[in-house]
Amino acid sequence: MTASATQTAPRKRAGNGAAPHDVADEIGLDALVGHAGYAVRRFQIWIFQDFIKTLGAVDIRPTQYSVLTLIGANPGLSQMAVAKRLGIERARLVHLLDSLEQRNYVKRVKSKVDRRSHALHLTTQGETALAKFKRLAAEHERHVEEKIGKENRAQLLRILAGFT
Amino acid sequence: MTASATQTAPRKRAGNGAAPHDVADEIGLDALVGHAGYAVRRFQIWIFQDFIKTLGAVDIRPTQYSVLTLIGANPGLSQMAVAKRLGIERARLVHLLDSLEQRNYVKRVKSKVDRRSHALHLTTQGETALAKFKRLAAEHERHVEEKIGKENRAQLLRILAGFT
DNA sequence: GACAATTGTTGTCGTCAACAACAATCTTTC
DNA sequence: GAAAGATTGTTGTTGACGACAACAATTGTC
């Protein structure tokens, strides 16, 4: 609507700019504000970047962390079960486990009840490593609290609990 | 902590499973629940899939929609300004605009004040198309409300307003 | 035992973020 | 005003990731 105002874009507000703002900061988003997906996407990028940075010293990415945590809490799971639970393609999990097995965090044990599947376990090294990862992940979670507030983080988790 | 309880994982509760549950539904996530990033990631995947499906008939993806909306609200922006505002790599925006220009939604006009940059505008076709996209996007937004609740969606937008 | 379904694997395709390099152009500095 | 540096758009590469399709081995079903 109002397709006439083509050239008169509200680029800057009146020239009382005291702070040295970046030009891009003042561009209106119009209909984009009010879209949940856009806000969630931007937030998700921020949160993942902080996670990757906080766990950068141990070189663990969010997906790897979720796999290790799940196996640590439920030893013996099959790859299919892990993939389903985390919403990962089982094809993709293969590569993830290849990497984690190479780093000696996880081992694939041939299941005896179903010789098609592998029972997934953490190695001893994997368990001690995961303990360290969890400490770093808790630190990351504190960053989130600092960013959006403790209350808001709790509400967020409550609202999105159905997706975990 | 408690690194001893390795094999005794709480896999299934007592075998009173009446409903035909999927096996993967009952796997505990342990520390993963309580991680904001995990919940946000899962939600973001869901919301994008619904967006892509709802706008499937017009073949518009979330990023394309955000670019069109931003240009529609701020005609004449440079590619750099759009990229910064949306948090997109300017290298990536090049391909996005190539596609949108091919479909005759956007045109790159050589700027006369800065001959390096392009002023981005919607074509007439692009404006009418965007109006349709916005209607479909509103429908998608209703899906979000149905999924998490009207109140929760509003709270989500409030909490994440800083990231838009 | 024949046939369908499942599991892990390999491969391809397309999206996306992150870099790096480059030519053209603008801005700053001397 | 010329040289040096920064910016803009572009091209290319890399790697993570989701989605699909095919396959062998194995299991389940009829």
Q: Is residue B125 part of a domain?
A: yes
Q: A1 vs B40: CB contact, 8 Å cut-off?
A: no
**Structural domain count of chain B:** 1
Q: Is residue A30 part of a domain?
A: no
Alpha helix (H) ranges present in chain B?
A: 36-54, 62-73, 79-86, 90-102, 124-148, 150-159
Q: pLDDT of A3-39, one tens digit each?
A: 333 333 333 333 333 333 444 456 666 667 789 999 9
- The answer to whether the beta carbon of residue B117 comes closer than 7 angstroms to any atom of strand D is yes
Q: Is residue A61 part of a domain?
A: yes
By CA distance, what is B160's nearest residue in A?
Answer: A39
| Set of chain B residues whose Cβ sits within 8 Å of the Cβ of A45 | 87
Q: pLDDT of B16-47, one tens digit each?
A: 333 334 444 566 666 677 889 999 999 999 99
Could you tell me the CATH number of the domain that includes residue B107? Answer: 1.10.10.10
Residue B43 buriedness (CB in 10 A; 0-12 / 13-18 / 19+): buried
Q: B74 vs A42: CB contact, 8 Å cut-off?
A: no
Mutation site for B-interface testing, chosen from A21, A40, A86, A139 by largest number of B Cβ within 10 Å:
A40
Distance CA(A18)–CA(A2), nearest Å, equals 32
Q: Is residue B15 part of a domain?
A: no
Residues whose CB is less than 8 angstroms from the CB of residue B131 and which lie 6 or more positions away in sequence, other chains included: A1
How many residues in total does chain A contain?
164
Q: Is residue A14 part of a domain?
A: no
Q: pLDDT of A62-99, one tens digit each?
A: 999 999 999 999 999 999 999 999 999 999 999 999 99
Alpha helix (H) ranges present in chain A?
A: 36-54, 62-73, 79-86, 90-102, 124-148, 150-159
**Nearest CA among A150, A147, A135, A124 for reference residue A47:** A147
By CA distance, what is B43's nearest residue in A?
Answer: A163
Q: Is residue A140 part of a domain?
A: yes
Give chain D positions with protein CB within 7 A.
7-13, 16-22, 25-28
Q: Is residue B2 part of a domain?
A: no
Give residue B154's domain range: 36-163
A135 min Cα distance to partner chain B (Å): 11
Q: Is residue A62 part of a domain?
A: yes
How much is the mean pLDDT over chain A? 84
According to the model, what pLDDT value does residue A34 have?
83
Q: pLDDT of B66-114, one tens digit each?
A: 999 999 999 999 999 999 999 999 999 999 999 999 999 999 999 999 9
Q: B163 vs A43: CB contact, 8 Å cut-off?
A: yes
Q: Which sign, positive or negative, has the C-alpha torsion B103, B106, B111, B116?
A: negative
